[in-house]
Structure 1
Amino acid sequence: MIFDHALHLQKLACGDDVPRQRQLSCRPEIPAELRKYIAALGPAPKNTLETLVDLSMTDDDIARYFRVPCRCISQLREIWNIPA
Structure 2
Amino acid sequence: MNPLLRVGDVLTLQHRDWAVGDGTLRLKVTHVPRYANFLTSTWVTLHGLELAPDGRPMRERCVLVRVQAVRDNPPARLEPGVREL
Q: TM-score, normalised by structure 2?
A: 0.27
Structure of larger gyration radius: 1
More helix by share: 1
More strand by share: 2
Q: TM-score, normalised by structure 1?
A: 0.27
